[in-house]
Amino acid sequence: MATEVKVPVLGESITEATLGEWLKQPGDPVKQDEPIASLETDKVSVEVPSPVAGVMGQQAVKVGDTVLVGAMIATIDAGDGKAAPAAASAPAATAGQQAPAASSDTPAALSPSVRRAVLETGVDPSTLKGTGKDGRLTKDDVLSAASAPAAAPAPSETPAVAPSVAAATSRTEERVRMTRLRQTIAKRLKDAQNTAAMLTTFNDVDMTAVIEARAKYKDLFEKKHGVRLGFMGFFAKAACMALKDIPSVNASIDGDEIVYHDYADISVAVSGPGGLVVPVIRDADKMTVAQIEKTIGDFGKRAKDGTLKMEEMKGGTFTISNGGVFGSLMSTPIINPPQSAVLGLHRIEDRAVVVDGQIVIRPMMYLALSYDHRLIDGREAVTFLVALKNAIEDPTRILIDL
């Protein structure tokens, strides 16, 4: 007897999703509550668990199909997987031929982000060993292989044949449908540009004091709190202090009204398999640096695993985006509506600066604040960045709330 697997409830106001990846193939043994498929919604990826133990049966939809909440997408048959029930639905192999087995490196088994990485790098997925769940290839596997030095070709005893002109000039293209998450990101960012009177102001900050504090206490911090001491904890805490001083940066526009918040829910942009996602640190203004670091670390891990919950992405009064981890020197980040401002952090690099009349080398970072000029004046934006700069350059201010 087969048990139907249906699309689970995905969250408030979400009625459909896209099938992003099959995690189990027909004939595979399946445990109860083991994920068999991954769904892509407007905000996050959601894994669909098996309601019973048995054998993966029919796959009712294909990768890329849109499915509604409550729709049947697969069946789980009784058994333990030894009999390979999928053979009945597959065409019989002719004499001397064997039907190819599904593997984690076939194009059909690769997730959209991995397929895109394969296309961009030209790496042959069949030559790689996956480090993901059940040995599946991940995007990092492909990028690591692409960045590895190529092995020297073995000497040939026969003279090489010159490639034909047609082969040398051959070019191919492939169209890949945008994921639902990427479509939503594109729409929201364009809507933000069309709606807000967006402007960006810059400043720079000397990271010497924070770097010294981190180097002095990072081992004790990790031993006590079980998480590494990074820079985001300092910036999130300093931003919360600056938001209290300049409440308009933490406000939003609702129709013809301005909504001021007496709390700071900080959205932090973290990288996931399908792009950037923005989970929210609730009541960050009431947290310690250690609590903020623990929360961000948990968000980053679960973003890579695709296990962030949709309710964790809702709300937020202010966003911090750290492009510096990817090497960005300077950028103009886009507001995350209905928020009115976003802080962009960038890479730290040694630069010559003047201190007390002397030219010295200091680790400097550019800060960028994009804001909605309909609500936030230039004076307020600059004052916010200066307050943030002062707190980072003198971290004692964070401790005494100055």
Cβ atoms of 101 and 109 within 8 Å: the answer is no
DSSP string, 148-179: SPPPPPPPPSSPPPPPPHHHHT-------PPP
The alpha-carbon radius of gyration of the chain (Å, integer) is 26
Helix, strand, coil percentages for the chain (3-state, nearest 5):
35, 25, 40
Q: How far apart are CA 357 and CA 393, in angstroms?
A: 18
| Tokens, residue 2 | 């087969």
How many helices (H) and strands (E) are present in the chain, helices listed first?
Answer: 9, 19
**Which of 196, 180, 105 has the alpha carbon at shortest distance from 145?**
105
What single-letter DSSP state applies at residue 339?
Answer: B
Which is the catalytic residue, given 124, 283, 373, 394?
Answer: 373
Strands 341-345 and 318-322: parallel
3-class SS letters over 252-283: EEECCEEECCCCCCEEECEEECCEEECCEECC
Q: Is 377 a catalytic residue?
A: yes
Q: Is 283 a catalytic residue?
A: no
SS3 304: helix
Which is the catalytic residue, given 33, 134, 191, 377?
Answer: 377
Active site residues: 373, 377
